[in-house]
Structure 1
Amino acid sequence: MPELPEVEVVRRGLARWVRGRTITRAEVLDERSIRRHVLGAEDLRGNLEGATVVDAVRRGKFLWLPLSAGGNFRGDVAAAANAKNDGGAPRLALMAHLGMSGQLLIEDADAPDEKHLKVRLDLSPALDAEGRAMPAELRFVDQRIFGGMFLADLVPTADGHPGGLAETPLPLVPAEAAHIARDPLDPAFSFDDFYRRLRARRTGIKRALLDQGLISGVGNIYADEALWAAKLHFARPTDTLRRKEALALVEATRDVMNRALEAGGTSFDSLYVNVNGASGYFARSLNAYGREGLPCQRCAGLGLDTRIRRDSFMNRSSYTCPVCQRRPRNGRW
């Protein structure tokens, strides 16, 4: 499943190609991909057609497109009244969940349909910075159908800060994502709040990192990479973590995610692509994840022949160096 860097790569592409454009037509080719939109395909189409994409926003692994009112916009009269009272702020968003194999692709109208095309959105004409016509369609493609698209009401953020990372910061978040904690790349992320809540837990540090209600966007791959960089074992009890260690872990998480962003994300699956159809290449730079039996590169730099080990963890795997990430005697898994 895509992690934060992969979703951020997609968000940046959407912001470039879709922001400010109006959805002129919405076509649902497979209703299984909009199953989370309980009001069905007609309601989805009625709300999307004529609406303008305000921006592309991400919090953790959640991605959404705030929409301005248009067409048969949900609660049209109420939405118009609310917009008048709050400066025209959008009240509805199109959420996109990529799941295991979901792709959001920007395509020309005459491009052949992808084999697993599920939803097609026609966009109003627009020109790029060089004066060239932008592609006319946003397509949702999903082979395994674990992802999907649906509409969600936007609500004010609890802390008054922007709902997530975006070019146009708005203090709004989809109701379905309001429980998700801020991620390490979010300017509004509070280390003090994170550390206080982390110390209150009685669990292992990796299990805490994967808790999207504590810190969002971190999945199995980047958790292993950040723990390796911070020299912490995944079973280290959270309530024994010193402030300096927790800060080093957050900084390591930011660093590994930023490096992944520079490389376009991590792709172990040919199904993961960004909006232009290009896969990520950060997998080539991993230090721990998937390297069972290979030398620990940090230990190798010190002249030690230490091999990365793999342990079973939450029906998945964890990869650690047995020397520079020593297992705690009182570890919690």
Structure 2
Amino acid sequence: MPELPEVEVVRRGLARWVTGRIIEGVEVVDPRSLRRHVPGVEDFRGRVTGARVTDVVRRGKFLWLTLEDPDHRADAPQVALMAHLGMSGQLLIEEADAPREKHLKVRLSLSAARGEDGGEPLPADLRFVDQRIFGGMFVADLEPTVDGQPGGTGASALPLIPHQAAHIARDPLDPAFSVEDFHHRLRARRTGLKRALLDQGLISGIGNIYADEALWAARFHYARPTDTMRRPDTLRIIEAATSVMARALAAGGTSFDSLYVNVNGASGYFARDLEAYGRSGLPCRRCAAEGRHTLLRRESFMNRSSCLCPYCQPRPRNARP
């Protein structure tokens, strides 16, 4: 499943290609991808057709396009076109006459536009492709954020958020993320550190890959009790998570197969730089640099696994699951 850097790569690509353009047509190839839009396909088509995209915003792994009412009514509710990528969802920018993808689900036709330099015309289609059909699209009303801050990361993000994403906490790359607030909530959880990092209601965007990477970088065991975390400890894990996700973002995300791509269909390359995740049985590079030969170890965790260095990340005596 895509994690925060992967979704942010997609958000930035969409912001570049679709902001300011009007959705002139909607083709629903597979209605199953609109199952989250309860009123149905025709309502979806009616609410989206003619709307102008004003921004592309992300909160954690949630992604939405803010839409301007086609009739410019002052009393019209502010809405967003939500895109849930699920396990295999892709949002691709294509030419209108490009061959149809095998798993194409929804096709949005965009108004004509040219690049920032006024050069070549921009591709005319925004396509939602989903092999496993766990993802989908739907229209949602926007509501004020609880803290009055922008709903998420976006060029002109307003203090509004779709109801379906309001329960998601802010992520470390969000300008409005508060380390102090996270620290207090973290200590109150009284659980293991990795379990807390994966709790999207506490901190969003961190999945199994980046949790392992951040814990390795900060030298914390995944079972470190959260109520023993001091402020410097909390700052250390947040700085580690921020650093690893920023590097992954710069590399275009982490891709292990062809299911995750950015809006142009290119895969990320950060998998080449992973230090812990997926490297069980291989030498810890930090230990090797310090003259030790320690092999990374894979341990069962929450019906999945954690990969760690037994020397750099010793298990605490008061470990919590």
- TM-score range, shorter-chain basis? over 0.9
Say what the alpha-carbon RMSD is for the aligned residues: 1.0
Deviation, structure 1 residue 129 = 2.1
Query: Which residue does the alignment assign to 1:120?
Result: 107
The letter for the 2-side match of 1:80 is R
Query: Which residue does the alignment assign to 1:10?
Result: 10
The residue correspondences of 1:235-250 to structure 2 (distance < 5 A) are: 235-250=223-238
Q: What SS does structure 1 have at the residue aligned with 2:184?
A: helix
In 2, the alpha carbon distance for the partners of 1:316 and 1:53 equals 39
Deviation, structure 1 residue 223 = 0.3
Deviation per CA, 1:138-185, whole angstroms, max 9, x where unpaired? Answer: 000000101100111100111111100001121110011011110000
Deviation, structure 1 residue 82 = 2.9
The letter for the 1-side match of 2:202 is L
Query: Which residue does the alignment assign to 2:86?
Result: 99
In 2, the alpha carbon distance for the partners of 1:330 and 1:81 equals 58
Deviation, structure 1 residue 269 = 2.0
The letter for the 2-side match of 1:12 is R
Deviation, structure 1 residue 10 = 0.1
In 1, the alpha carbon distance for the partners of 2:299 and 2:164 equals 34
The letter for the 2-side match of 1:203 is T
Alignment of 1:80 onto 2:68: no
Query: Which residue does the alignment assign to 2:289?
Result: 301
Q: What SS does structure 1 have at the residue aligned with 2:181?
A: helix
Aligned length: 320
Query: Which residue does the alignment assign to 2:280?
Result: 292
The letter for the 1-side match of 2:66 is P
Deviation per CA, 1:20-43, whole angstroms, max 9, x where unpaired? Answer: 000000111001111100111000
In 1, the alpha carbon distance for the partners of 2:172 and 2:206 equals 9
In 2, the alpha carbon distance for the partners of 1:82 and 1:210 equals 39
Q: What SS does structure 1 have at the residue aligned with 2:55?
A: coil
Q: Which of 200, 205, 213 is 2:188 aligned to?
A: 200
Deviation per CA, 1:187-234, whole angstroms, max 9, x where unpaired? Answer: 100111000000111100000000001000000000000000000000
Query: Which residue does the alignment assign to 1:43?
Result: 43
Deviation, structure 1 residue 14 = 0.3
Find runs of 4+ consecutive structure 1 residues off by over 6 angstroms. none
The residue correspondences of 1:1-333 to structure 2 (distance < 5 A) are: 1-70=1-70, 80-82=73-75, 91-130=78-117, 131-333=119-321
The letter for the 2-side match of 1:67 is L
Q: What SS does structure 2 have at the residue aligned with 1:55?
A: strand
Q: What SS does structure 1 have at the residue aligned with 2:139?
A: strand
In 1, the alpha carbon distance for the partners of 2:184 and 2:205 equals 19
Deviation, structure 1 residue 266 = 0.2
The letter for the 1-side match of 2:27 is E
Q: What SS does structure 2 have at the residue aligned with 1:7?
A: helix
Query: Which residue does the alignment assign to 1:74?
Result: none
> Structure 2-normalised TM-score?
0.98
The letter for the 2-side match of 1:94 is L
The letter for the 2-side match of 1:192 is E
| Unaligned stretches of 5+ residues in structure 1 | 72-78, 84-89
Q: What SS does structure 1 have at the residue aligned with 2:75?
A: helix
The letter for the 2-side match of 1:141 is V
Deviation, structure 1 residue 288 = 0.2
Q: What SS does structure 2 have at the residue aligned with 1:56?
A: strand
Deviation, structure 1 residue 81 = 3.7
